Amino acid sequence: MSSKKVNSYILLLLTTFFWGASWVLGKVLVEYAPPMTIGFFRFLIAIFFFIPALIYYSDLKFSKKTILHFFNLGLIGVFGYGILFLIGIKLTTAAQGAIIAGFNPIGISFFAHIFHKERLDQRWKYIGFVISFSGVIFVIGIQPLINYEPDHLIGNLIILLAMGTWGIYSVYGKKVMKEVSSLEATSGAVFFGALLFGGGAVYERFWELEAMKEWEFWVMVAALGFFVTFLGFLFYFIAINNIGATNSSIFINLVPIYGTLFSYIFLGETIYWTFIVGLVCIISGIIIINYDNTTEKVGEVVSIGN
């Protein structure tokens, strides 16, 4: 195995590590501040790192149409997803949210099927959709009903809606990336997403919040901005260039595993048997769909909403 492949795999392991940890960070942060303020500072911090990368890799010449695309990406994939993520994670547990997020690749494939008429190369692979969705049902509804946790049920449904938003963002992003690179598309989305969050943060009167005086808040939001958003994107971008989008996207399956593990270790959340069944079903469905799949992948829009 070449050193380039080894380095790419290490970067992907770090990326999924960061994205898995984001569920724990998000769960803790929503106890410090309201969602608009969290989103604003997260993506504002990320922008300061994206700007040098753009200056180095891009000529920064964009048409009005492309800028509009950036705004739409920011509205859907950064602002829309981010709000649903933060509201959902406040109501449910980090473990349940992370497992539901494992449905992300299936959601992307679903919307690619609807909007781009993409098909899997074998009909039997559609069984993977059924298996993965059954896993989501286990996590979303069965355990909250067993323990009678209506807040968890509502939060899980909001997280699932966030996954749908991310699927639309990814499919739309594929269209945009016919004109610009994934770095430019993601940077543009983060920029406009931060502006939208900024308006909400002003409405929340962020300067009056106690969180502004808490160093723990700044450490966690900086971790989301730098490690999860910027480094996660950069490492994934490098890996795609080295080993391709298909091989890179397989590693996303590790995100719900990391997220579940971290929620157990750092938050002391209970991991029920239904969570394990749901996680196994979701990952099994993804493996079935991607088995020797020659269909063009949509997952080249890098995850920034985790």
* Domain assignment of residue 141, given as a range: 3-290
Q: Domain for residue 129, yes or no?
A: yes
Whether the model pTM is above 0.75: yes
Task: Say which residue the tokens 């099927």 belong to.
Answer: 113
245 inside domain: yes
Outline where the chain has alpha helix (H). 3-29, 35-57, 64-73, 81-91, 94-101, 104-115, 127-137, 143-147, 150-176, 182-203, 215-223, 232-243, 245-249, 254-266, 273-290
> Residue 38's pLDDT is what?
97
pLDDT of res. 119 = 67
Residues ≥6 apart with Cβ < 8 Å to 292: 121
Note whether residue 11 is domain-resident. Answer: yes
Does 199 reside within a domain? yes
- The verdict on residue 304 lying in a domain is no
CA dihedral 70, 15, 166, 269 (to 10 degrees): -140
Rounded distance between C-alpha atoms, residue 291 and residue 282, angstroms:
14
Whose tokens are 């959902």? That residue is 88
Given this model, what pLDDT does residue 161 score?
A: 93
Q: What's the gap between Cα 194 and its chain centre?
A: 16
12, burial (CB in 10 Å: exposed 0-12, middle 13-18, buried 19+):
buried
Residues of the chain with confidence (pLDDT) below 50: 293-299, 305
pLDDT at 250: 66
Residue 298 within a domain: no
**Residue 305 counted as domain residue:** no
Report how far residue 104's alpha carbon sits from residue 123's, in angstroms, rounded to the nearest whole number.
21
Instruction: For residue 19, tell me if it sits in a domain.
Output: yes
Dihedral-angle region of residue 117 (phi above 0 means left; psi in -120 to 50 means alpha; beta otherwise)? left
What pLDDT is stored for residue 294 in this prediction?
47
pLDDT of residue 143: 67
Q: How many domains does the chain have?
A: 1
